Amino acid sequence: MTGKQVKLFLVDGTPGGLMTAEITNWTGSIVSARRSALAELLGREEAERTGVYFLLGEDEDAVGDTRCYIGEADTVATRLRSHAKEKPFWNQAVVVTSKDTNLTKSHVRYLESRLIELATQAGRVTLENGTAPPRPRLPEADLSDMEYFLGQLQIVLPVLGVNAIRVRPTPGSPEAGDSTVSPIFQLKSARLGVNASAQQIDGEFVMLSGSLVVPHWHGVGNAVSTQRAYASYLAQYEELLAEGSILVENGTGRTTRDIVFSSPSTAGSIALGRSCNGRVEWVSAEGAFGAWESRGVEDA
């Protein structure tokens, strides 16, 4: 497995403030700032360069509770000043430029188009972009450089908590690289009509598209703790239903995309409509998820 060294720098020394990120031996440069620190961001050299940017805002009605706009500009600062007046939804800006200032207008137009494609494919946010602009034609060498640039962005952006272009790689594909991928685990209940599949990929538990889940939820016991857990899972289920990630037709619930969950237990609870010990109830030919998760760990 090939490691990557990601360097993060807290400009004002606080975790919620202006932050820069880079990967060793990569020409890319990233600056992330809350909207309240926009003035400081605009005053930095990176904002005066040609680049692409993400505007991110929290929204409970959006996919993944996040709205996202992806753009490009000859001078990023000029475009951000405009968006500060015209786009009220965002509370975080992430600016991506090059340390060697070799990104051209054609380069960033290509990156913008590909980033929108990747964000659409990933399905982790609601995009504010109306359409994806066409990719400009680039020389073969430049095309290779931009695809490498995108690959590095897919590594470093999640480190900053930005998962907009974090596409789930297909195991065995070139894009998967050194990804840590589990076996496929199943969760079944003939009585409830549940037949769900999931994998853990790069530390994320993913229920796969096409999984059959409960079409509706029933009542729950009177215990306060049980009621609270039930309410939380039901709220997540209803959110997935509202955004179209779960589709109910003819009395059957089905996932329409790969869905990332915080834990196997949460995924199992959404699928079954009740509390679930995911480490036990998700199983593969190799055993339960908990056994796979603990593989290689031996008592001293």
pLDDT digits (tens, 9 = 90+) for 200-242: 988 889 999 999 999 988 755 444 445 666 788 888 899 899 8
Residue 43 reports pLDDT greater than 80 = yes
Is 297 a residue whose pLDDT tops 60?
yes
Count helices and strands in the chain by DSSP H and E runs: 8, 16
Q: With residue 177 as reference, give the H or E element that holds it.
A: none
Amino acid at 76: V
DSSP 135: P
Token pair 């060498």: residue: 141
pLDDT reported for residue 174: 43
| Cβ atoms within 10 Å, residue 35 | 17
Angle at 42 between CA 38 and CA 47, to 5 degrees: 125
102: helix, coil or strand? coil
- Cα dist. 237→7, 229, 248, 274 in Å? 37, 12, 12, 11
Query: What are the tokens at 295?
Result: 């593989």
Task: Give the pLDDT confidence score for residue 188 in this predicted structure.
Answer: 95
> Domain coordinates of the chain in residue numbers?
6-159, 185-293
The closest of 279, 185, 281, 266 to 233, measured between CA atoms, is 266
Query: pTM of the prediction?
Result: 0.77
Q: Which of 106-115, 229-238, 259-268 is the least confident region?
A: 229-238
Q: Is the pLDDT of residue 74 over 60?
A: yes
- What CA–CA distance (Å, rounded) separates 60 from 24? 36
According to the model, what pLDDT value does residue 115 have?
97
Contacts of 132 (CB under 8 A, 6+ apart): 113, 116, 117, 120
Strand partners, 69: 55
Q: Residue 226 has what pLDDT?
A: 55
Over residues 153-188, the pLDDT tens digits come to: 999 999 999 999 988 765 544 444 445 788 999 999
CB 285 within 8 A of CB 190: no
Return the top range by mean pLDDT from 94-103, 107-116, 215-224.
Answer: 107-116
Mean pLDDT (the chain) is 88
**Phi/psi at 237 (5° precision):** -60, -45
For the stretch 50-72, pLDDT in tens is 999 999 999 877 888 899 999 99
Residues 33-60, mean pLDDT to the nearest whole number: 95
- Structure confidence at residue 243 as a pLDDT band (50, 70, 90): confident
At 227 the pLDDT is: 61
